[in-house]
Structures are given as structure tokens and as C-alpha cells.
Amino acid sequence: MKKIILFISLIIIIVVVAFGIWLDLKLKQQSEELQPGQENQIGQNQPVGNNENPPVNESQIGGLNFDQTVSDGAITISVPSSEFGLATNKDQILVHPYIPPCDENFNYCLYYNGSAYEGTNFESAGLRIQKRDDLKSQSACLAAQPAGYSGLTPKNESADSYATSVFSPLGDAGAGHYSSGELYRLFYDNKCYEFQIRIGESQFANYPEGSIKEFTKASQSAMRLKLREILDAISLSDGTKIKFPGS
């Protein structure tokens, strides 16, 4: 009888020990599955669902830091010098891609000199600003075709003291490189100004697989947004912000 009791007691001890070991392993496994910082979120009001791509706050899009200005007396240009250089002639442009950020004919060239797209097929981005002394009337200023183009219909807008237009889209390609952009015009105080946004790229497919990353459509849109933000920051001599047509 004593042997039976001893045997049953031994079985009970083995079961209890085994359950304890299983429970300890289970708790350790659950602890390891928690992501870093997750234990601090328990009990807090956290949004439900996939938070990898939170909604974009439109007020934060672009967000360039304009810390310099330059003016010719009629218009004032704001410069975000942490990401864009300012040149008044081609020798001052410190980047030298196959497709330059601005054509040679300019009074001011704001060119991207940041490093965000290094190692991609991105080449250049810039805003070319030129005073067009040859376009003396409002109609000529707003409607004259961009150099090398014909048959384009501009989109116009008018305000009390000025008028604007845009030709879009513009583009060029050759030898595995291509550009895209828009050309804007401003007629103000009997003066005509031309503003050209341009982004240059090389053909991603021409590179050996895995050698570079792609300058994506999303990256192109982000860069175009920066250039448009610079354009929209340009003001008249009296401080009026210029409203350019959407492209």
C-alpha cells in the first residue's frame, strides 16, 4: 500500500514540475515576441490598424527653410540654401550632370545640391529664372512658345497687377538621359519673366541590376514639389505673393 502511495506521489510531482517548466517557456516566448517599446504601449490609447504609413499632413509637405533672398527690384526670390545653390552664371553651378539643372540663358538658377538621391539615377533639378526683354507686351509674354517647342497652349491666370501662364508638360531625351518639367511666365510692371522647372534623370534600365537604386515617381513628385514651393515663394516688389497656374 505504501508503495502505491509513493508511486502516485511521484507521478504528481513529475506532472507539477513538467507544467512549471512548460509555463515558464511559454511566458518567455510571449515576452520575446513583443516588439521593442511595445510593453510601454499596453493600456495606452493607440490607433488600431496598420501604422506603417500614417496619413500625410499636407501642411508639412515640402517644408523648405528659406533663409536667403535676392531681388532685381521687381521680384524677390527666396532661397533655401541648405538644399539649393544660387547661381547668376553657369560657372557658379557646382553640379555638372549630363542634363544641367538650368539652360545657359538665365539671370538666376536655383539648383539642387543636396545628397538625398545619391546612388540613384537622379541627375539634376533646378529652377531657371530669366528676364525676357524681348517679350514686351503681356500677350507676347504669356503666349510665346518655349524655345524648341510649337503648338503648345498655355494656361493663363490674371490678377490686379500681374498675369501668369504655364506651358506643361515639357521634356527632352537623348543618349539615355531625359528631363521633364514646366515653363511659367510672369508679366508685371511691363516686364516679362520666365521660370522653368526641370528635373533630369538617366535611364534606370541602362544600369547593371543592383548597382543603383531607382529615382522613383514618388521621388520625382517630391522634388517637383520642392521646386514648385520655391516658385510659389517668389513675390513682387510690394510683397505680393505671385499665384502661378497649376501645371
Decide if 51 is inside a domain: no
Q: What number is the average pLDDT over the span 185-189?
A: 98
Query: Residue 71: its pLDDT value, please?
Result: 97
Q: How many Cβ atoms sit within 10 Å of the Cβ of residue 90?
A: 13
Question: Cα(233)–Cα(229) distance, rounded to whole angstroms?
Answer: 6
Specify the length of the chain in residues. 247
Which residues form the domain of 191? 66-236
Pick the range with the lowest mean pLDDT from 15-29, 83-97, 170-184: 15-29
246 pLDDT band, cuts 50/70/90, is confident
Decide if 56 is inside a domain: no
| CATH label of the domain that carries residue 133 | 2.60.120.1690
In terms of C-beta density within 10 A (0-12 exposed, 13-18 middle, 19 or more buried), how is residue 141 classed? buried
Decide if 241 is inside a domain: no
Classify each residue of 214-233 as buried b or exposed e, where b means 16 or more C-beta atoms within 10 Å of its C-beta: ebeeebbeebbebbbbbbeb
Decide if 8 is inside a domain: no
- 166-179 pLDDT, tens digit per residue, is 999 999 999 999 99
Q: What number is the average pLDDT over the span 104-128?
A: 97
Query: Residue 10: its pLDDT value, please?
Result: 57
Decide if 41 is inside a domain: no
Instruction: Give CA separation, 96 vs 43, 93, 100, in Å.
Output: 55, 8, 6
Q: Scan for cell 490598424, then name that residue.
A: 49
- 18-66 pLDDT, tens digit per residue, is 555 555 655 555 544 434 433 333 233 333 333 333 333 333 345 899 9
What percentage of the chain reaches a pLDDT higher than 90? 73
Decide if pLDDT at 202 tops 50: yes
Pick the range with the lowest mean pLDDT from 38-47, 91-100, 132-141, 218-227: 38-47
Decide if 70 is inside a domain: yes
Query: Residue 6: its pLDDT value, please?
Result: 52
Query: Residue 28: its pLDDT value, please?
Result: 53
Decide if pLDDT at 144 tops 80: yes
Amino acid at 197: I
Pick the closest to residue 20 from 9, 31, 28 (CA basis).
Answer: 28
- Total domains in the fold of the chain: 1
Decide if 33 is inside a domain: no
- What residues contact residue 173 under an 8 Å CB cut-off, 6+ apart? 179
**pTM, 2 dp:** 0.74
What percentage of the chain reaches a pLDDT higher than 70? 74
Decide if 1 is inside a domain: no
